[in-house]
Structure 1
Amino acid sequence: MKRLLTILITIFLFGCGQTEKKPEEQWKTIEVGDYFFDFPPDFELVTEKGIDSYVGKINGDSMLFGFDFGYYSNDFEQIPQEYLENGFWRNDLSYRFMKEGITYDQTNTPKVKVISIRPAKKQDSAIGKGCDYIAKCKHNQTEFDFPVYIPNEIKLMNYSIDTVDNQYRKIVWSKDTQKGRTGIYIRALNGFNKSINSHSALSMETSNLTRKQQETALEIFKTGRHKNQTK
């Protein structure tokens, strides 16, 4: 009897292991532009009429994703490092050296070199109250410290940037799920079009989520892959 019970338990355990499926295995693949994504089974593709791009929605019972595939897709908010490298704050560096009565253009605007950038410390409030970074700059022979403030819309987001299978992938998700976007921007590393001065890319996003919905959206984004690549 004991031996029979052991055999029955073994059959039950292995039987469950063969029939049980992970949630991801029940998801379905949807083609969006040049990319495949796996979605829960309740999601459906809805295409729309776009100008210069392929646009539409992927609609589910609890979430709605909008997408844009083309040369003008939104690459979302800059991450802090991107803002430090090419943000609007750099345009302000020349202003302190401009003189009244002179009309400035690209040929005579004072040139300022950014030597280094470091995170701000408490004592840096004397340079700029509440600043996030301090940039050490130089104009001619004059060196000076410049306060850099990261915009709030950047601070309110989380970011993940990587390259997978020759694809640049940027994922953003708001710290407050009820406010801000949760989205993905993805493009080929070698897909730059010189004549348009842009990349062919896909952006897809959703908003006004619960924490659980945001987690599902991020799982969907992780499945993204180019059509010419295997999962």
Structure 2
Amino acid sequence: MKRLLTFFVIVILFGCGQTEKKSDGQWKTIEVGDYLFDFPSDFELVTEKGIDSYVGKIKGDSIEFGFDFGYYSNDFEQTSQEYLENGFWRNELSYRFMKEGITYDQTNTPKIDVMSIRPATIQDSIIGKGCDYVAKCKHDKTEFDFAIYIPNEIKQTNYSIDTVDNQYRKIVWAKDPQKGTTGIYLRDLNGFNKSINSYLAISVATSKLTSKQQETALKIFKTGRHKSGKK
């Protein structure tokens, strides 16, 4: 019985040592496609077979990132501003003017002009209860207000967007790191491919993090750079 108990104690202690293993404080550079990132020394690159892009994982002792380098990399959720400019809500505008018995396509879909967009007020509940914005729209000679609701996925995400060394950089981090995505999307502004109408880009992302792990992930993302600007 004592031997069995001793065995279990050793297993528990060994398991704890493995799960709590931390980086030695040193960082190293890992190359992913055309990009370089600095990671704590415990991270390693693991490549996988992709169909139309270079994919794989960058695995550390406590965090695992997935990456996709190619022309179809995920640029994550739209920001509120991007949603207002290009969101699905614009497709809904035409529905109210469609008539039964008519098959619609791009040539005869009712045309709606969005004249302005403003933040919603309490009084706008008569237009749409709990809406976030109100668009002033026009169809032929008819003007109307349209309630816009920003998707919860966007509301629950923080964003940082800028351009560094001719690279469009979008960093997203979930307000609740346990439930949402924390990631980076880097797009080479010189890497546009006309034949497929897309940019060469990379996305690196993870999820189900603690607040401390999310801090580490954001530090890693901020080191992301194109090889042409190699430090």
Shared fold per TM-score greater than 0.5:
yes
Give the C-alpha shift of residue 130 in structure 1: 0.4
The letter for the 2-side match of 1:64 is E
Corresponding residue for 2:3? Answer: none
Structure 1 CA distance for aligned equivalents of residues 56 and 91 of structure 2: 37
* TM-score where L is the length of structure 1: 0.88
The 2-side partners of 1:101 and 1:224 are apart by: 54
Tell me the CA shift for residue 138 of structure 1.
0.7
List aligned pairs for 1:15-34, cutoff 5 A.
Answer: 26-34=26-34
| Structure number with bigger Rg | 1
Stretches of structure 2 that go unaligned for 5 or more consecutive residues are: 1-22
For residues 25-58 of structure 1, give each alpha carbon's deviation from its aligned partner in whole angstroms, at most 9, with x where no partner exists: 8310000110110000111111111111111111
Q: Secondary structure at the match of 1:153?
A: helix
Query: How far off its partner does 1:90 sit?
Result: 0.4
State whether structure 2 residue 123 is matched by structure 1 residue 109. Answer: no
**Identity among equivalent pairs (%):** 81
Q: Hey, what does 1:162 align to over in structure 2?
A: 162
Query: Which residue identity is paired with 1:131?
Result: C
> Deviation per CA, 1:164-187, whole angstroms, max 9, x where unpaired?
000000111110010011000101
1:10 aligned residue: none
Superposition pairs for residues 5-154 of structure 1, below 5 Å? 26-154=26-154
What is the distance in 1 between the residues matched to 2:191 and 2:126?
A: 46
Gaps of 5+ in 1: 1-22
Q: Which runs of 4+ in 1 moved over 3 A?
A: none
| 2:107 partner SS | coil
Give 3-state SS (helix, strand or coil) of 2:229's partner.
Answer: coil
Q: Deviations over 1:96-138 (max 9, x none)?
A: 1112222211111110000011110110001000000000111
| Match in the other structure for 1:16 | none
Distance 2:158 2:75 in 1: 14
C-alpha distance in 1 between matches for 2:162 and 2:214: 20
* TM-score (ref. length: structure 2): 0.88
